[in-house]
Amino acid sequence: MIMLVFLRKILRLTVTWLWLPLMGIITIYYHIFGGSYWKKVLIISHCARKWGKGITNIMGIEIKVHGDVEQADGVLIVSNHCGYLDILVEAATFPIRFAPKNDIRKWPFLGWYLGLSMPIWVKRESKQQSVNVMEACRDTLLHGINTLIYPEGTSTDGEHGILPFKSTAFEAVCRQDIPILPVVIAYHPVPDGFKLCWIGNDRLLPHFWRVIGYRKIVAEIHILPKVYPQGENRKELAVRVHDLMEEKYNQIKSKITKQGELV
């Protein structure tokens, strides 16, 4: 059994390291020949979806989608955050432009690789940088390109509700006819009880090495109806979306817990 898990890990790593350069080459091609800036961003958002589908298939992640994916047509996708697996699952589900924390930019290889997707690097060191992020999100949405944000500002253990939302990114849709698409993501427990959420002081590589050994990981992604601004300021809008998502989150966690008790 131990040998089987080890071989599974090696196989998945090998295929992943073949898949990443292939998608990287395709993305670089569109950087060069994709046309105007916004056309490139749009095309590469669809490349990100192919990248996500490939990685989740390689890793044995089964994605159960609840709701209408076609609602994602130039929307601000707002999601709860349980770690790096969310990025893979949501990239496999929607064509998106990422908005990752600027710290990731410094990661060896992965920071550069993510940079190929033309993300909006999120910096919170100053008010002006927050304004720049908001304006970049707004411009992206006005060009009909989905933008993904994690307004909790950090990943959680996925067990104790959704943290209060930081409201800066919500300014991008206030007083605009741009909808928000709330998305709630949750993971089914794995047999040995290992926490799939990557949080706190967990080291990335040991966590990833453990994750790729499971035969299958089940992720549920629940797409709620679009939310339109109703004249609220960004903080009021953030609270409204948070409360809708937390209500759904509690329903999902209750259902998953009951299913686990029946197995």
Of 150, 169, 24, 19, give the one whose Cα is nearest residue 90. Answer: 150
Using a 10 angstrom Cβ sphere, with 0-12 exposed, 13-18 middle and 19 or more buried, the burial of residue 190 is: middle
Whole-prediction pTM: 0.92
Averages of pLDDT over runs of 10 residues in the chain (263 residues) are: 93 96 96 96 96 96 96 95 93 94 81 91 77 90 95 85 91 90 95 86 88 96 96 94 96 80 39
Backbone angles phi, psi at 202, to 5 degrees: -60, 135
What is the pLDDT, as a whole number, of residue 161?
87
**For residue 236, what is the enclosing H or E element?**
helix 234-262
Beta bridge partners of 97: 147
Q: CB-hemisphere CA count at 13 Å for 122? A: 18
Asked if residue 150 lies in contact with residue 79, where contact means CB atoms within 8 angstroms, the answer is yes
State whether residue 79 is helix, strand or coil: strand
**Residue whose tokens read 């699952």:** 89
Alpha-carbon distance of 57 to 123, in angstroms, equals 32
Of 158, 191, 197, 211, give the one whose Cα is nearest residue 263. Answer: 191
Asked if residue 229 lies in contact with residue 175, where contact means CB atoms within 8 angstroms, the answer is yes
Of 126, 125, 79, give the one whose Cα is nearest residue 98. Answer: 79
Of 55, 65, 52, 88, give the one whose Cα is nearest residue 220. Answer: 65
